[in-house]
Amino acid sequence: MLLENIRHYLAVWVYAGFGLEQDILARAIADWECSWQEDLRPAAELWPFIERVTTELMEQHRDEQQRWPEVTDCDRLDASFAELDGMGILARQNYEQTLTSGHAAIEAEARRTVVNRPIIGFVFFHEQDPELAVMWNSGPALAWGSFEDSDESCRRVAQTVVEVLDRHGIKAECRGEANSRILISGLRWQRRR
């Protein structure tokens, strides 16, 4: 069971397409070292196992890319985020580890960035969100908000995010409530390395 769990974990990180191989290896060692020891496995076997499985998954991922369409949904997502960022909505993918750390980081980034250009809001998904997208072709769920303190500015940011995603062929919906997330549906996760 432990080996299957580690393989699943590695598959998510490889297929998410964000981390470099050495980063995935280092993170996996840090995240699984205690479980490995609790399972009474020899410590010297953890690194070779993780390295072998990661290498296999990376090769598999590269092979699959050869059969992908010229423009994938992840390419459309990249284009959407680039357009939103250019409009003054800070748009970040795989940003921070959680919603809480993402919100804190995006606020700090906005304070630094606003001196160079107008910033009206933000949209991001954090490192845990690609798991659903990789495994179920659902999501990621997007955190969003406005840096102006009004319901109208919040609605405007959410509406703009959904419209830009739609223009790039990505289905998304938002209830418009400040604490809700924008839900992407039907996205096929194919992020090129």
Last residue of a domain, one of 14, 41, 65: 65
Do residues 139 and 77 share a domain? yes
Do residues 87 and 144 share a domain? yes
Do residues 41 and 111 share a domain? no
Residue 178 has pLDDT above 80, yes or no: no
Q: State the amino acid at position 181 in one-letter form.
A: R
Do residues 124 and 142 share a domain? yes
Total domains, the chain: 2
Question: Looking at per-residue confidence, does 175 or 126 come out higher?
Answer: 126
Do residues 174 and 138 share a domain? yes
Do residues 124 and 49 share a domain? no
pTM of the predicted structure, to 2 decimals: 0.90
Tokens 């490995």 sit on residue: 36
pLDDT tens by residue, 112-166? 988 889 999 999 999 989 888 888 877 899 999 999 888 899 999 999 999 999 9
Task: Specify the pLDDT at position 176.
Answer: 67
Phi, psi (deg, nearest 5) at residue 81: -65, -35
When pLDDT is cut at 50, 70 and 90, the band that residue 179 belongs to is confident
Question: Looking at per-residue confidence, does 10 or 193 come out higher?
Answer: 10
Task: Specify the pLDDT at position 137.
Answer: 76
Task: Specify the pLDDT at position 139.
Answer: 80
Confirm whether 96 is domain-assigned: yes
Q: CB under 8 Å to 83, separation ≥6 — which residues?
A: 164, 168
Confirm whether 193 is domain-assigned: no
Report yes or no: 103 and 144 within 8 Å, Cβ to Cβ. no
Q: Which domain holds residue 147?
A: 73-185
Report yes or no: 183 and 170 within 8 Å, Cβ to Cβ. no
Confirm whether 192 is domain-assigned: no
pLDDT tens by residue, 5-42? 999 999 999 999 998 999 999 999 999 999 999 999 99
CA separation for the pair 103, 5 (Å, rounded): 30
